[in-house]
């Protein structure tokens, strides 16, 4: 059973959904990692950051220029990407440079998102016939 609760964060009231432990108890560690990665990529700004960093590592100031976000906003998105394991940061002197930690995964997902997908349109009869065929085959 889920409940909605309010949390205060930096003077802002945030609404979050609390789920019972039963909801996530059947989830494997691999599934949890996959969900974390997809959640991290679910924001347009984070996708923009990944597309910029796809060409190679950038230091914080240059990353900010490329994605056109305020510094605090960029920091929040970079943190979410780091926590998902998609992004890493290297310290070079006083500079922080960001790079994609899992380039093959990021490339595959961004390529899939960027490619054209034909819409599949089925009639009710086709769906019912397909479902019936699957039930008979089981």
Residue range 99-111: mean pLDDT, rounded:
94
Instruction: Give yes or no for a contact between 121 and 107, defined as CB atoms under 8 angstroms apart.
Output: no
**Cα-trace Rg, the chain:** 20
Helix, strand, coil shares, percent, the chain, to 5:
55, 20, 25
Say what the pTM is: 0.67
Residues of the chain with pLDDT > 90: what percent? 48
Q: Which residue ranges form the domains of the chain, and what is each CATH number?
A: 44-115 (1.10.10.10)
Within 10 angstroms of residue 8's Cβ, the number of other Cβ atoms is 8
pLDDT digits (tens, 9 = 90+) for 27-64: 888 898 899 999 999 999 999 999 999 999 999 889 88
**What's the confidence (pLDDT) of residue 48?**
95
**Cβ neighbours of residue 113 under 8 Å, at least 6 residues apart?**
47
**What's the confidence (pLDDT) of residue 25?**
63
**Cβ neighbours of residue 41 under 8 Å, at least 6 residues apart?**
47, 50, 84, 86, 109
Query: Residue 123: is its pLDDT beyond 60?
Result: yes
Query: Residue 23: is its pLDDT beyond 90?
Result: no
pLDDT digits (tens, 9 = 90+) for 71-86: 999 999 999 999 999 9
């Amino acid at each position: 059973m889920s409940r909605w609760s309010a949390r205060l964060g930096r003077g802002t009231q945030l609404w979050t959904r609390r789920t019972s432990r039963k909801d996530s108890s059947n989830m494997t560690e691999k599934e949890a990692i996959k969900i974390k990665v997809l959640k991290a990529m679910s924001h347009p700004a984070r996708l923009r950051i990944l597309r910029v960093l796809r060409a190679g590592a950038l230091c914080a100031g240059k990353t900010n220029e490329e994605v056109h976000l305020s510094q605090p906003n960029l920091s929040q998105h970079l943190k979410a990407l780091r926590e998902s394991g998609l992004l890493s940061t290297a310290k070079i002197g006083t500079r922080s440079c960001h790079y994609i930690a899992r380039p093959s995964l990021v490339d595959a997902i961004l390529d899939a998102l960027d490619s054209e997908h034909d819409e599949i349109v089925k009639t009710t009869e086709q769906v019912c016939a397909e479902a019936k065929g699957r039930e008979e085959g089981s």
